[in-house]
Structures are given as structure tokens and as C-alpha cells.
Chain A
């Protein structure tokens, strides 16, 4: 069985081909790039909203991509329980579209940060992290100027209570510290999932840490988890 990945391409996406490469070449699944002006995703199992600078980050990051024709179908797909994964700019689009709570503000340093960071897996019982262990530390790069996650206290509490915080920025030992927080994110949040558990957004780039040629392969665990979730589902039915 082969999974069908759809990677949405917005004007200004620049990690679309990386995601496509990981899905097709590294994971050996079917992958298709879908132009944002299309109205239907077609028959797919997983949708990736890739990183980049959709619409040049005009107005607010992700604010305009949200109105692209394809997003109507992405929202429908997500509301039907389809697996949607937003990476970096894709995460920003998901919060603007209201599929995930909160917002991504300018980095507290005001600088674009491009480097490897450490992430602690906070919830390993999701479609996106089943191949990780709770508390495991992953090394994955970030590359963003607006990754400073923020939400009100009430929403933060709800995210914590319902175990929706999937990744936090940590040091190499897994300690959650201010020094390990690259962008000022509230509570070191690097990635969150919706309540239903089918939509996740994260600022770090797992697709840039999946090919052994690039040395770091921790990101692959996220993609392997997605594939595994479908395999185990099939075995159950």
C-alpha cells in the first residue's frame, strides 16, 4: 500500500520540493504537488502545507495564503478528519485559517534564525509522533523570522490540559530553558496539534532532516509516524 501525499504550492512556497522529495524518494510513497489555484486536492491521504514565504508574507505571514482557492478543500479535508501537516509557513497558514489556535509573532530577537535546534517530544501518541518516545530529543533545523508562538492564557491551559503541545524547544538534554528558546515562543512551544489529532503545525523543518546525505535524520521520525499511522489503521480494519 502506498500513501498519497499532496503538497500544496503557494506563490512563494520554497520547501514544497523538499517535502515532495521526502514523501516520494525517502518514504517511497506517492506524492503530488498541488497548485494553490486548484479547487480540489483529489484523492489524497495526507496534505502538507510546506514552508516558504507565501504571498511574500504580505500583511501577516500566512494571512493571504489562507484565501487561496485550494484552502477551501484543505479545510474540508481537515474537518473530515484528514491528516494535515503544516511546516513553518504551513503552520502560520494553519493558524490564520483557524485550523490551529494561536498566532506566530515576530521572533523576539527580531532576527531571522536559521540553525539546528533541539526539540523535546511532549506527546508521542499522535499520528505525527508515534515513532518517537515521550521526552525524546530531536535535532531539526529552524529557519524563520516569525515563529514566536503566542496565545492567551486560557488557550494555553487548554492546549496543556489536552496534551496538544507536541514539541517544545529544549537543550540537548531535553531541559526546557529560556536559552533553548530560539524565538521567544510562549512556553517554548514549537509545534501543536488540534484537539481531534489530525492537524499539526510546527516551525522546525523535519523535511530538512530526513535524508541521510544531510547527516541529520531525526525529522524522518515525524514522516515515518504519519506512514505508520496509516499502516496500523489498515491492519485494524
Chain B
């Protein structure tokens, strides 16, 4: 069994109003040096795969087909043996 941790982030070209609002929040708190807040998603899942390669392949496919929308999001992931 392998454990995947997937990060889904908005593409740089996409405005992130939510991140902007949080950035304003940090400034209101007095942390005016905070910049470029971007909000993304974190997904973790187990893959019942025989090898790391197979787990990577499945994680990649699931990310491409479902977890991230390529029009607006990028993704990256790490995998460890469980």
C-alpha cells in the first residue's frame, strides 16, 4: 500500500480572490509583510498498488481526471510506502 499526498493549486494566471481576502486579513492582523497568498487544496489517499511506479501512475491519473481541473489548477504529489 502506498500513501499519496496531493497538492492542488490555482494556476498562476488565475486570480485568487479568496487568497486576496486572506492576505488582507493578515495585513489587518499587523503582518503587513505577507504577500501573494494563494489558497489551494490538499488531498491524501491510499493506493493499493504493487509498486511505487504503479501508485504514481494511478495518483497522476486521478489528479488529472478528477482532483484538479487543468483549466485553472496545477497539481503535485508525493508518495510514500505505507
Q: Which residues of A contact B (CB under 8 A)?
A: 59-60, 63, 67, 95-96, 102-103, 105-110, 150-152, 184
Complex contact B72–A105 (CB within 8 A): yes
User: A106 contacts which chain B residues (CB < 8 A)?
Assistant: 17-18
Complex contact A59–B17 (CB within 8 A): no
Question: Considering only CB atoms, which chain A residue lies closest to B41 in the complex?
Answer: A59
**What are 16 A-B pairs at a CB distance below 8 A?**
A59-B41, A63-B66, A63-B69, A96-B69, A102-B71, A103-B72, A105-B15, A106-B18, A107-B17, A108-B17, A110-B18, A110-B21, A150-B71, A150-B72, A184-B15, A184-B17
CA distance A182 to B18 in the complex (A): 16
The 9 closest A-B pairs by CB, nearest first: A103-B71, A103-B72, A108-B17, A110-B17, A110-B21, A103-B69, A106-B17, A60-B69, A106-B18
Shortest CB distance B64–A (Å): 13
Question: Considering only CB atoms, which chain A residue lies closest to B65 in the complex?
Answer: A67
Taking each of B13, B18, B66, B71, which has the highest tally of chain A beta carbons within 10 Å of its own beta carbon? B71
Shortest CB distance A68–B (Å): 13
Complex contact A105–B67 (CB within 8 A): no
**Size class of the contact patch on chain B:** 10 to 19
B50 at the interface (CB under 8 A from A): no
Contacts A110-B21, A150-B71: A105 and B14 contacting too (C-beta < 8 A)? yes
User: A63 contacts which chain B residues (CB < 8 A)?
Assistant: 66, 69
Question: Considering only CB atoms, which chain A residue lies closest to B10 in the complex?
Answer: A105
CA distance A59 to B15 in the complex (A): 18
Shortest CB distance B2–A (Å): 22
Chain B residues 3-22 with CB under 8 Å of chain A are: 13-15, 17-18, 21
CA distance A59 to B41 in the complex (A): 9
Contacts A63-B69, A103-B69: A150 and B17 contacting too (C-beta < 8 A)? no
